[in-house]
Structure formats: structure tokens, C-alpha cells
Chains A and B, each alone.
Chain A
Amino acid sequence: MNTKIRALMGACALSALATAALAETTITVATVNNGDMVRMQGLMDDFYAKHPDIKVDWVTLEENVLRQKVTTDIATKGGQYDVMTIGTYEAPIWGKQGWLLPLEFDAAYDVDDLLPAIRGGLTVDGKLYAAPFYGESSMIMYRTDLMEAAGLTMPAEPTWDDVKAAAAAMTDRDNEIYGICLRGKAGWGENMAFLSAMANSYGAKWFDMEWNPQFDGAAWKETLTDYLDMMTNYGPPGASNNGFNENLALFQQGHCGMWIDATVAASFVTNPNDSTVADRVGFALAPNKAGIAKHGNWLWAWNLAIPAGTQKAEAAKTFVEWATSKDYTALVAEHEGWANVPPGTRTSLYENPEYQKVPFAAMTLNSINAADPTNPTVDPVPYVGVQFVAIPEFQGIGTAVGQQFSAALAGTTSADDALAAAQALTTREMKKAGYIK
């Protein structure tokens, strides 16, 4: 613990004593157990020093549990939380329902500094409904040493053919080195995040303008066939249960030649404390199919939002403003270094010369800018979202389709059968929800 924190803590204790008489507002903040959020909980002394009249109770949960709890609460107006951490998927749906308070910040917050792609995904009818805490896209992380040994160089903007060739060249099963690691675990935020984004780069889409599911088209078939082909020939064993964490562990231990996943992974794989390959990682833009303008990268952000029913809107807003401000970024940089600041939300961060020294900064920004949630596919679509479809039914549909594709990867069903099942179940759900007749 450095002296600064200790001094802060002392000051905090003093001010706590001094202000004990003041009315204290306690707000309950629900958040996900990711590293950036956990780090924030360690830096709360700064907030308490600035706002001694507000106390924060944390509810930190694993992503799926968090989503289930906050969704139940906001939809039933249970009122258990004053600030909720929500994804880019929920923000537009909930904003439209009037479940979230629109956020208006003063000039110092500099709302125009937010990255346009991220801000666009959180805005409904010109109003911002959630403040981004950190944003991410996806990109290729690859082993520079293995590429070199294979006599290949990674283009800055590789195509899927380049990726396939590189995966073939790097795979060395006897030494447990697999050319490519991709998500296979079923879930709308797991394998379907990757596959939907990949499908975009093949010119495929979830729905046409009349909301008819498109899994019976040639583009999806090509996407799934190539995915299965790469994973079967060059992927690790048991890939149908691999999500972000499993692949991260594989990559950190040197089992993966390439890994296409969230940009936030970059700070983990380049961290010498955890990663055996920290000094041998290169980054490239997520691939596209030759001739198709869309790349296979997604866009996601974890955001802080205030439910409309809260009695403590003022205190909640004060907290959201603090947590997503430029000052907070500076605070993290001061305590934990620039590589650990929450990435992907503000233009100013990427203009900061200190941050530009971070090896993955430029590629993260390029990837985020290459994703466009309001215009995600080659053909026009009626929905918003790159790797998801921002309609309430998507969680269920996406997970069910993900199960089919995961089964295809596990080899218990064929690509054709999986696509046919996906088409049938999506059609069924969309009929029930009344999108199509």
C-alpha cells in the first residue's frame, strides 16, 4: 500500500467522523465480477473523500447471475438497486421501455468525448441511457514466435483465408499447440457472440427486413462450415465447452497460435505474471471474407445505468459520473498503471501519449471503430447490434441456436442439421413473439 492511499484513507476516516452527523445516502450498486469493476471497488476511497455523504453497497456477481437478477428487478420494478451494470444489449431495450433514467451530465464530463460507436449503442431517441464504464471489440491475438517459425507474417487486416492458412501452419498437435482457439460454449454471449460477428463478415445476417430468420441461406452455411472446419482441424480438444476464460487459460499457457476474442484479453495475455507468452503476442484486426467490407469484430460495453424507480437518483448519478469520468481513468492510471485503465470508452484516452505506449491500444481503438452496431451487416437489417440482436427475445433464441452450433462442434450433430434446427426454432420463437405470421 503506498503512502498516498494511506493518506487518503486517513483523510477519509477523518471526514467520515466529521460528517457523521450529515444525512448519509446509501446506494446499492449491482455489478459484474470482471477485473475493471473489482478494481473500482478498491479505489472507492477517492469517491468517499469527494462525496462523504454517499455510501455505496456493492453487489458483485458473475455475469449470468447478475443479468438474471437485475432484469427481474427492473422488469418487476422491485427497486433493489440504485445503479445497475448492464451491457450494450440491455441498454437500448430498457431505455426504450422507459425503465432507465436518461443521463445528462455537465460540461466537465465531456459527453462528446465518448467513442461514437459505443455512445450510439447506448442512445435511444437522442438520449443517453447508460454511461459506458469500459468498452471492447474483438480482435486477433496471435503468437509472433509461432508465425515466424512457420515463415508467415500476419497482415494488419487478414482475411479468413489468411487465418485458416496460419492456423494450419502453426498447429502442432504433438506439442499441444493448436492453430486457433475460438469460443464454442453455448450461449448468446458466448459462441453466438463470436459466430454472429463472424457471420457478418461472411455477408450473413440474423433476420431480413421482414424479420425472417436467415439460417437457411448460403452465407450462414459457409460461416458455420468454415468455423467447424477450422476448429476440428486446428482447434483444441473440448472446444465446445470453451468460453472466454477457457481460451484465455489456453492462450496464456502457450497452447494457442491464434485467438479471436475480446480486446480486453490483450491486457491479460501480455501480463507476464499470468501469461507464459506475454512477450510474444501480436494483434491484428478481426478477419473478413475476401471481398466483404464487414469485419468479424463485435462491440460490447459494460455500462452503468440508473433504474427509473430509484429514490436516490441524485446520489446514483453522482456515482455514475465519478466512475465513468476522465478523472477516474487518471486515478486508475496513477495507482495501477496505464495498461489497467478501463479501455474503450473515450477518445481522449486514445489521444493520450501515455496510453499510446500500451501495445494493444491502437488495435483496440481500430477494432472498436470498425464495428458499427447500427449498421452491422452487409445487407440492411431491422435490428441494432453487431453480435446480438437488440430485441428482448434474443437471449433465449441466441442461447438455443448457440446450443445447436455447440452440438455441431462437439460432433453430435451435423452443420446442416444444426442450421435447420436453428432456422426452425428461431422461426417458431419469432412467430410466437408476433414478428412474423
Chain B
Amino acid sequence: MARAVSSRRKALVTVIAWTIGLAIFFPILWTAILSFKSEGNAIASPLTVLTTPFTLESYETVQERSNYFGHFWNSVVISLGSTLLALVIAIPAAWAMAFVPGRRTKDLLMWMLSTKMMPAVGVLVPIYLIFRDLGLLDTRTGLVVVLMLMNLPIVVWMLYTYFREIPGEILEAARMDGATLKDELIHVLTPMAVPGIASTLLLNIILAWNEAFWTLNLTAAKAAPLTAFIASYSSPEGLFYAKLSAASTLAIAPILILGWFSQKQLVRGLTFGAVK
């Protein structure tokens, strides 16, 4: 950077950035803190809460009452499964749209996105009936399919915008060298597309992990993911802040950690063609 930055300025920016960052993060931090308090202490005023002793009792209760690992595993299978399936279907489509664009490509994309605008609450009953008849209720397969369909438009779009930035000349060159379509796809395009695919994968795992309507309404005992786990801790009778905090922490921690570790990869492709 050519412009000189005074260290006073840097200190000022540091203070402001940290204040804002902590403020944005505070609700999550506070939830994590409350999860280590007793129910009675969790509703005290913030300063009092900090002075009260830490305890694991909420986690013990949650552990005793629910099968956290069962829900966790369902979440993993459903979000990963639906994302991988979506990628398998979307990569060829996005590739074709990006490199062999037709007159209707833009319209096709917009139409795909518009399928996301149907309010889920309005189609629950039709979907429920279909699922019942196909025997898909309370199965992970059923949820994988639904979430794949839900996110497919976004996956196609993300990949399309990413692929479009790959210069066509490289493909031309490969073709001149006698590469077939298959070679082109596997040896030339895929390596270049890896960052875009990785970022799409991550974003979709996040979206699928957090999806809380279908996952809650199409499952019962066997396939219920963490969204159902949360629903058993929201507003019961009696005090519940600490238990709710513990359950919330357990539900968001895996995806938060994944997100943090992979944030570089996530950010790299998360441009939707916004950066030329």
C-alpha cells in the first residue's frame, strides 16, 4: 500500500472495528455464557450474571433429555447429502449455461430463482401428501431431496457466475490440443472451478443446516435434525433461558466452527459474479 498509514489512525480503526465486531457477535457470546449458568442466575442482570458461578447443569439436562448426537448426525447427513446431490446436478447445468449460452440462458436462470419464491407454508399440505404416498415422511432421503430442490437454483446461479469468469480461451486452447468434452470438464475446468465449487458447497451446507421449516415439518423421530432439537427447548413452562442457551449453543456450534475454519474458501467464491 502506497499511502502511508499513521499508527494513530490504525489504532483508531482498530478500536472502532473491534467494538463493532464484538457488538455484532455479542448475542452469540451471551447465549454461550448463559448456557453455563443455572436457570435462576440466567435471568439476572448482565453484570450479576457474570459474577455467578459457571455450571454444566444445563448441558447435563440437555444431554439427559435429548439424543443430541442423533439429531446432529441427521443434520450432517441431510445438509451434506442435499448439497452434494445439488452439486452433481448443477455443475453440468451451470457449465453448459456459462460456456454455451443461448438466448434464453438469462431467462432460464431467473426462472430457476423464481421457483424459490413459493411460500413453503402454502405448499406444506401438497408436499406432505406426496411424501406420505411415497413413504418419504420422516426419512433422511426425503429431506435430502427437498433441500436439494430448495437450494438448486442458488447452486446453479453461484456456479454459473463463477464459471463465467473462467476465460473461454483456455478451453479453446484445450480443444485445439484435441481434448474431448470429457477431458475438458475433468482436466481443465474442474481444477479452475474448485474454489467456486468449494464456496458453493459451504454456502449450501449452511443454508441446509439452518433450514427450519421442511426439516421440522416432514420429520418425526428418526430423521429429525437439530432444528427439531431446538423446538423441544423453546418456551416450555418454567424458566428456560439456560437450557435454551445450551441447546442453541449445541445446535449452532458445529456450523459456526465449520464456517470460521473455512471462511477464506467461503468468501472466495461468494461473489455471485459481483466482482469482475
Contact = CB atoms under 8 A, between A and B. Distances in A.
Contacts of A249: 43, 239
Contact of A76 (B40, B128, B222): B128
A38 B235 CA distance: 14
A80 B220 contact: yes
Contact of B237 (A35, A58, A68, A273): A35
Contacts of B216: 65, 69
A231 interface: no
B162 to A, nearest CB: 38
Contact of B235 (A59, A62, A80): A62
A380 to B, nearest CB: 34
A248 B64 CA distance: 25
Interface residues of A, number: 38
A79 B40 contact: no
A306 interface: no
B71 to A, nearest CB: 11
B163 to A, nearest CB: 41
Taking each of A33, A77, A253, which has the highest tally of chain B beta carbons within 10 Å of its own beta carbon?
A: A33
A111 to B, nearest CB: 27
B217 A76 contact: no
Contacts of A59: 220-221, 224, 228
Contacts of A68: 217
Interface in B129-176: 129, 131-132, 137-138
B40 A60 contact: no
B178 interface: no
A72 B217 contact: yes
Q: How many B residues are at the interface, by size bracket?
A: 20 to 34
B65 A41 contact: yes
Contacts of A80: 137-138, 220
B64 A268 contact: no
B238 interface: yes
A356 interface: no
B40 A273 contact: yes
B238 to A, nearest CB: 5
B159 to A, nearest CB: 35
Interface string A76-114: 111111000000000000000000000000000000000
Given A72-B128, A274-B40, A60 B238 contact: no
B124 interface: yes
A249 B222 CA distance: 35
Contacts, number: 85
A318 interface: no
Contact of A33 (B125, B132, B232): B232
B238 A268 contact: yes
Interface string A240-281: 000111001100110000000000110010000110000000
Interface in A39-83: 41-42, 57-63, 65, 68-69, 72-73, 76-81
Nearest to B61: A38
Given A72-B124, A72-B128, A62 B64 contact: no
Contact of A72 (B65, B125, B231, B234): B125
A34 interface: yes
A57 B221 contact: yes
Nearest to A246: B235
Interface string B208-239: 00000000110011101000100111111111
Interface centre among A28, A80, A253 (most CB of B within 10 A): A80
Q: From B39, B125, B222, B239, name the one whose CB has the most chain A CB atoms within 10 angstroms.
A: B239
A59 B217 CA distance: 12
B237 A245 contact: yes
A76 B65 contact: no
Contacts of B131: 78
22 contacts: A30-B220, A33-B233, A34-B236, A35-B237, A35-B238, A38-B65, A58-B221, A59-B228, A61-B228, A61-B232, A62-B231, A62-B233, A62-B234, A62-B235, A65-B216, A69-B220, A72-B125, A73-B220, A78-B132, A80-B138, A244-B237, A245-B238
Given A38-B65, A62-B232, A273-B40, 16 more contacts: A30-B220, A34-B237, A35-B237, A59-B220, A59-B228, A61-B228, A61-B232, A73-B220, A78-B132, A80-B137, A245-B237, A245-B238, A248-B237, A248-B238, A253-B43, A274-B238
